[in-house]
């Protein structure tokens, strides 16, 4: 399907969205509208062990008599590295992949980021489609044309901007998730609200723990997607406004990297939730965010997400990772901070680590 000027019937991207169609609904109905699969000279499907077991049975019957090759990797953030890419590229070569082939990334953020990256650089690029199967990937990771992998435990430090041919979002895949994975994805939805949409933030507060119910999510996913689209469309290459999407991620990635290195990983959304509490605290310390709003954010996030136990040594390691964040300039750590729910500021460069260390220590003590 060409995105063209006319939006597909079940498109949830804004009318002016210039990239891949973002289609939302039942996958069987979505596929009736697209010929993308049939235009390719060969079809590859990237899965991990979990999506092969729980999600591929939903997709496979819809492919009819199309021939395809599956590439299956192990699940988890620890697999998002060059060694796994080498496995994927090897299987693409063995399967006869050409620049006219198509890769379907069926999975969460790891599959989408890594599959997109592999397609972006293999033979200097061939087409790929995102079918995100986790809440986190449906509202955030699959949208925005970013691809990437981790290196030396630094998150997404190698990557490229590469738009997929389409993003196909079916909420039925959320029923395949363990509750912890589903809740993890709420972090990005909540982040969208905190940085950009006071109305959505108030809805989140109103739903509380019911936010993770299927009925609520079916109405909120499109709203969260439109926020991400609006920000990306205004700043495709992250030169300015798009940096607000990093709220919670500077501290969150630091924590996530430390625990990944130590072999005790947490889910990405759990790390981002911790990062949002920490960065809201930094916002408060700098006089940007008032105390009542900070406490509301802290309480709300702790009601949904487990606290991550951090030692003093892990906090120091997290600071080291934060100093290597790809958004930094010189010796300054770049933060996106909050002025109020629904309003964020970006490129706040902090050169004094003591303020950041204090926020991490306060999180530890909560």
Q: Measured in whole angstroms, how far is the alpha carbon of residue 11 from the centre of its chain?
A: 20
Q: Is 146 a catalytic residue?
A: yes
- Annotated catalytic residue, options 155, 228, 327, 348: 228
The DSSP bridge partners found for residue 245 are none
Q: Is 357 a catalytic residue?
A: no
- Annotated catalytic residue, options 32, 124, 239, 329: 124
- Annotated catalytic residue, options 80, 242, 284, 327: 242
The number of beta carbons lying within 10 Å of the beta carbon of residue 234 is 10
* Phi, psi at 312, each rounded to 5°: -60, -40
Q: Is 180 a catalytic residue?
A: no
- Annotated catalytic residue, options 77, 91, 181, 188: 188
- Annotated catalytic residue, options 50, 156, 246, 281: 246
CA distance 32 to 30: 5
Q: Is 203 a catalytic residue?
A: no
- Annotated catalytic residue, options 79, 181, 238, 279: 238
**Stretch (H or E) spanning 160:** strand 154-161
Q: Is 65 a catalytic residue?
A: no
CA distance 245 to 285: 21
- Annotated catalytic residue, options 80, 146, 226, 317: 146
- Annotated catalytic residue, options 80, 192, 243, 249: 249
Q: Is 188 a catalytic residue?
A: yes
User: In the structure encoding, which two tokens stand for residue 187, read together?
Assistant: 């972090």
CA distance 69 to 49: 15
Q: Is 246 a catalytic residue?
A: yes
Q: Residues, the chain, total?
A: 366
Q: Would you give the DSSP letter of residue 236?
A: T
User: In the structure encoding, which two tokens stand for residue 18, read together?
Assistant: 């210039």
Ordered alpha helix ranges (H), 95-141: 109-121, 135-136
CA distance 147 to 168: 17
Q: Measured in whole angstroms, how far is the alpha carbon of residue 100 from the centre of its chain?
A: 27
Q: Is 192 a catalytic residue?
A: no
The number of beta carbons lying within 10 Å of the beta carbon of residue 229 is 19
- Annotated catalytic residue, options 268, 284, 317, 348: 268
Residues in contact with 316: Cβ distance below 8 Å, sequence separation at least 6, in sequence order: 357
Q: Is 242 a catalytic residue?
A: yes
Residues taking part in catalysis: 124, 146, 188, 228, 238, 242, 246, 249, 253, 268
């Amino acid at each position: 399907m060409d995105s063209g000027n006319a939006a597909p019937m079940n498109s949830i991207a804004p009318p002016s969205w210039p990239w891949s169609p973002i289609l939302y609904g039942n996958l069987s109905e979505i596929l009736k509208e697209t010929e993308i699969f049939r235009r390719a000279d060969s079809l590859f499907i990237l899965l991990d062990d979990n999506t092969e077991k729980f999600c591929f049975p939903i997709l496979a019957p819809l492919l009819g008599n199309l021939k395809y090759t599956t590439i299956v990797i192990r699940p988890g953030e620890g697999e998002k590295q060059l060694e796994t890419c080498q496995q994927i590229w090897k299987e693409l070569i063995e399967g006869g992949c050409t620049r006219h082939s198509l890769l379907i990334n069926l999975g969460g953020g790891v599959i989408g980021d890594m599959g997109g990256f592999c397609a972006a650089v293999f033979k200097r690029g061939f087409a790929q489609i995102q079918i995100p199967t986790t809440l986190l990937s449906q509202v955030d990771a699959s949208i925005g044309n970013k691809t990437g992998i981790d290196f030396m435990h630094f998150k997404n430090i190698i990557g490229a901007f590469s738009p997929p041919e389409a993003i196909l979002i079916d909420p039925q895949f959320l029923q395949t998730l363990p509750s912890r994975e589903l809740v993890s994805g709420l972090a990005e939805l909540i982040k969208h609200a905190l940085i950009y949409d006071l109305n959505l933030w108030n809805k989140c507060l109103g739903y509380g723990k019911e936010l993770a119910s299927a009925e609520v999510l079916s109405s909120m996913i499109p709203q969260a997607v439109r926020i991400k689209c609006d920000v990306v469309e205004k700043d495709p290459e992250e030169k300015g406004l798009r940096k607000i999407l990093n709220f919670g991620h500077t501290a969150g990635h630091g924590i996530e990297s430390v625990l990944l290195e130590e072999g005790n990983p947490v889910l990405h959304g759990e790390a981002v939730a911790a990062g949002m509490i920490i960065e809201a605290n930094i916002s408060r310390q700098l006089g940007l965010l008032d105390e009542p709003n900070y406490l509301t954010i802290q309480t709300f996030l702790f009601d949904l997400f487990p606290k991550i136990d951090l030692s003093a040594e892990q906090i120091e390691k997290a600071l080291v990772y934060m100093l290597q964040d790809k958004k930094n300039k010189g010796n300054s750590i770049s933060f996106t901070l909050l002025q109020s729910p629904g309003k964020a500021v970006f490129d706040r460069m902090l050169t004094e680590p003591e303020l950041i260390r204090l926020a991490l220590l306060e999180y530890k003590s909560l």
